[in-house]
Amino acid sequence: MPRNGNGEFDLPAGNPVIPGTVIESSWANNTMNDLAAALTDSIAADGQTTPIANLPMGGYHHTGVSNPTLRNQYATLGMSQDGLNTRVQITGGVDNIVGTLVGQGTTYVAGALVSFFAPATNTGAMTLNYNGIGARSIVSADGNQLLAGEVQAGSFYMALYNGSAFVLVSSTTNSNVNLYQASTTGWIRPVGGQYPVLTIATATTVNVPAGEGYIVPPGIDGETNAVKVSWSAQTIVLSYVNSAFITTVTVNAAGQIIQYSGPAIGSALRTNAIIGIVQHVNGAASIVQTQPSVFGDDGYLSRATSSLLTGNILSGLKITPNGVAPLQLDVSSGLIFQPGASSDLPDSPNTLVVPGQANITFRTLAGESTVGGAILTNAPVTQYDPNGAGVVATIPQNGDAVIHRLYYLYGQFIWVFGQFIYANVATALNYIEVDRTDRITSTRLAGATLLAEIIATKATVNLTSATAEILAKGAVFFSIGSSGGIGEAPVNGTAYGRQDATWVPVVKGNNPSMTGTATLTGTSPTMTQVLSTPGSGSAGYIVKQGVYDWASMTPVAADDKTYFRSYNPLDGLLRSTTTWDLEDGSWSFGGNAYTQLPSGTSAQRPTGANGMMRYNTDLFGFEGYANGSWGSIGGGATGGGQDKVFYENAQVVTANYTLTAGQNAMSAGPITINSGVTVTIPTGATWSIV
């Protein structure tokens, strides 16, 4: 046995040897074999030996070690502190950089973090290739290809591999962060302020005029380091003519025409200048608008920020019923915030002017399956799109109401059918917020501006009648221009906003004045106050009937009662009526609901007053206060059917109890009194157990 398990080597039997004795072969062989085995189990200094078990260091260190060169070698503390274990040593390239990373890995692993010093300032999109594994794109934190100047020579960068590209996560400069841009990416305004126009060539192609502009990378101020780009006149084939309502036509830093389905997103507008918008609601180009993003206006936010405001109404655009045609609509003129200039508004490149017009025409939209219906003038209020499935049907019952919506999208009005049935117009109003949340909205409406919500029934033949309600979305919160400043708004305790050229209350009530004498009669009196909020599950009304003097708050005629009425919001039917008689103070309850009394333990009884009632959770019964004490209420005989035969009581007393002084009690036995529980029978009282 070479070692004893504790690392100690013990000589075999026969050792030590005795001087002057003959060396026996058995002794020599055993001793030499043990020595050879012990040497074999030792670690050779020249690296020949491979350990076959863990090597405990006993609190000591490996010292004098060098930095690793392979992935299966452990790193030194100095290497980790110096960041050399993740540092790519760049050996060449400007935009397509190459280098080496210690460890000689053969693949990129998602989640791997690497760092590098940029050898030069980039001129465009970048890639990284280390250890010959292959080139992968280096992108900004929002996933975009890098623009010229985003990586600066000599700066230090860290990048995280996400499985397909290296994403810059930090740097010693701010060049890779989406910063405010004093000047925006855009088309250079021609002399005179008028841009050449895009035109429709065929149903699926558009003519794009030549132009030039600047792509402004994040962090760049003004023209310095901005990328100047030019493009030639050309005819493009629309890529999204059958899958979207609009196409945004842009140009990138390479002068290539790039199309986006719907409005271009903010991250795209960092690297692309808008040229124009093409509308193709019905599968063919129908309207084209030259709406360039304009370079050089320091007053605008970055494209990524301003795109969030796209489609907001700045003023006007109020939808009203036509005064002559009962099912037609008019729209007032107004302004919409829209990235991309109106070519004839040189001072407001991001403001879209919508002219007012009477008898607007619109296309209908139902679900995702319909590109765009026929052009209509009369509002199709008696139809709806059940649950947003894309199949239009007639509203089932005359009283049923639905909530339609009218949008504006690049010169086109679009009617979107209501999707849910409500009992009546009032119920639909109560559920307007729920409807806005639950409805299915077509992705084709991206960037569209909601102008109005129109509530109507199957019986609606006139949008000004009680069977319809128009909730206009015209701007009432924003003022544009030199006139109509906030100082002109009335000061009377009411919140006002700008609507067209007039200041109107932001919250406009419809209750009559609470002065004078009002006569309220019938089952649907004029004076009502809604108690519930939309979507609460009930619609409640307080109704005062008869003649009532609101100034003195006193009744002046018969039937001076207050009725609390509860209606089912789904079918509009009356559920219950609670009546409060103002003359004698009495209450009466109707319907099949319930009245719940207060409840609590015996210890929680309030200070008693004659006439109090409550439910006692200790005694499991109703109790009332009379003549100075609490006592049970009800609990009479019961039985099958209409029988009143049996009086039931519990069999175990679980809590201390004292009979009322001067009173007797009776229980059906046997009765068990739990250990530690006391029943106190005052002098003169009797407890009978039968």
* 223 and 275, same domain (yes or no): yes
All residue ranges of the chain with pLDDT < 50 are 174-183, 221-222, 297-305, 341-349, 475-487, 493, 498, 506-560, 567, 569-572
**321 and 450 part of one domain:** yes
Q: Looking at 475, 504, 528, which one is the last position of a domain?
A: 475
Tell me, yes or no, whether 233 lies in a domain: yes
Domain presence at residue 196: yes
At residue 133, the pLDDT reads 92
Residue ending a domain, choose from 285, 308, 331: 308
Q: Are 341 and 349 in contact (CB under 8 A)?
A: yes
- The answer to whether residue 679 sits within a structural domain is yes
Characterize 561-597 residue by residue with b for buried, 16 or more Cβ atoms within 10 angstroms of its Cβ, and e for exposed: bebbbbbebeeeeebeebbeebeeeeeeeeeeeeeee
Same domain assignment for residues 321 and 459:
yes
Q: Are both 375 and 320 inside the same structural domain?
A: yes
Res 404: pLDDT: 94
| Final residue in a domain of this structure, among 308, 327, 342 | 308
pLDDT, position 578? 66
- Please tell me the distance from the alpha carbon of residue 100 to that of residue 86, in angstroms, as a whole number: 10
Q: Contact at 8 Å (CB) between 220 and 236?
A: no
- Does residue 287 belong to any structural domain of this protein? yes
pLDDT tens for 611-637 read 888 888 887 778 888 877 787 776 666
DSSP class of 87:
B
Specify the pLDDT at position 555.
46
Q: Which of 253, 260, 248, 285 is nearest to 122 (CA)?
A: 253
Q: Which amino acid is at 303?
A: R
> Which range of residues forms the domain containing residue 560?
517-589
Task: Quote the pLDDT of residue 96.
Answer: 95
Domain match, 349 and 471 both: yes
Looking at the structure, tell me whether residues 470 and 326 fall in a common domain.
yes
Comparing C-alpha atoms, which of 287, 262, 259 is closest to residue 275? Answer: 259
Asked if residue 446 and residue 407 are part of one domain, the reply reads yes
Identify whether 504 is part of a domain: no
Tokens for 612?
Answer: 């109090």
Decide if 540 contacts 526 (C-beta within 8 A). Answer: no
Q: Do both 456 and 415 map to the same domain?
A: yes
Side-chain half-sphere exposure of 180, counting CA atoms within 13 A: 6
pLDDT of residue 296: 53
Query: Does residue 497 belong to any structural domain of this protein?
Result: no
- The pLDDT of residue 453: 92
Q: Which pLDDT score is estimated for 527?
A: 36
Residue 571 lies in a domain: yes
Tokens at residue 115, please?
A: 């760092």
Note whether 39 and 150 are same-domain residues.
Answer: no
Domain count, the chain: 6
Q: Are residues 11 and 86 in the same domain?
A: no
What is the pLDDT, as a whole number, of residue 401?
A: 93
pLDDT of residue 556: 45
**Predicted pLDDT at 635:** 61
Say what the pLDDT of residue 80 is. 77
Task: Specify which residues 529 forms β-bridges with.
Answer: 542
Residues 439 and 565 in one domain: no
Rg, Å, the chain Cα set = 43
437, 554: one domain: no
For 308-357, how does the pLDDT look when each residue is reduced to its tens digit (9 = 90+)?
A: 566 777 777 888 898 889 999 999 888 777 655 444 444 444 667 788 88
Q: Does residue 115 lie within any of the structural domains?
A: yes
pLDDT of residue 202: 93
